[in-house]
Amino acid sequence: LRLELENLVAAFWRAVETDAKKAVRLALALDSYFWSRGPKDAHLTVLDAAIAKTHGKSKVRVLCARARLHIGQRDRSSAESDLRRAMALLERNVDPVLEGEVAFLMGELAKNELDWPAAERHQARALELAVQCSDRHLEGRVLAATAQSACR
């Protein structure tokens, strides 16, 4: 993937101008790469551009990716802002899977702030939604995060 990174980034910038859906798909694919390898400034630039070009549930997905980046950088206010925007969008575009992802990330943010009651509340909501939607991936992430919280 590293060898194709330049091509993927170029394809993303072309898609930003011509095809918002493709730009979002590429941004989310690049998110995984940038999350593990950086650079963080390029990561943020790609996510910002994708957010500017999309709406609805797609915007929620990219806002979650950017919130996760901010959480990793310990930028509480930016992460919280992205998650609040995502929840506001979900009020108009109901999606329990995405709501579960937002709740999970809110729990992670609360854990970083050592706000254990809020973290547990958000994790419980995320787990409830994951089970309701049969989202085993999210369910596993929530249970792992809950186990980590229990070890505090």
pLDDT, tens digit, for every residue of 71-110? 999 999 999 999 999 999 999 888 999 999 999 999 999 9
pLDDT at 30 over 80: yes
When pLDDT is averaged across residues 41-53 and rounded to a whole number, the result is: 96
Q: Render pLDDT for 132-145 as a digit per residue (tens, 0 to 9).
A: 999 999 999 999 98
The residue among 53, 59, 68, 50 whose CA lies nearest residue 95 is 59
pLDDT at 3 over 90: no
- pLDDT value at position 134? 95
Distance of alpha carbon 143 from alpha carbon 71, whole angstroms: 19
pLDDT band of 1, cuts 50, 70, 90 = low
How far are the Cα atoms of 58, 79, 90, 147, 148 from residue 151, in angstroms, in the given order? 35, 24, 32, 6, 5
Work out the percent of the chain whose per-residue pLDDT is above 70.
97
All residues at 6 or more sequence positions from 54 whose CB lies less than 8 Å from its CB, including other chains:
20, 21, 23, 24, 62
pTM confidence score: 0.91
pLDDT band of 152, cuts 50, 70, 90 = low
pLDDT at 54 over 90: yes
Q: What three-state secondary structure class fits 16?
A: helix
Q: What letter would DSSP give residue 131?
A: H
Work out the percent of the chain whose per-residue pLDDT is above 90.
84
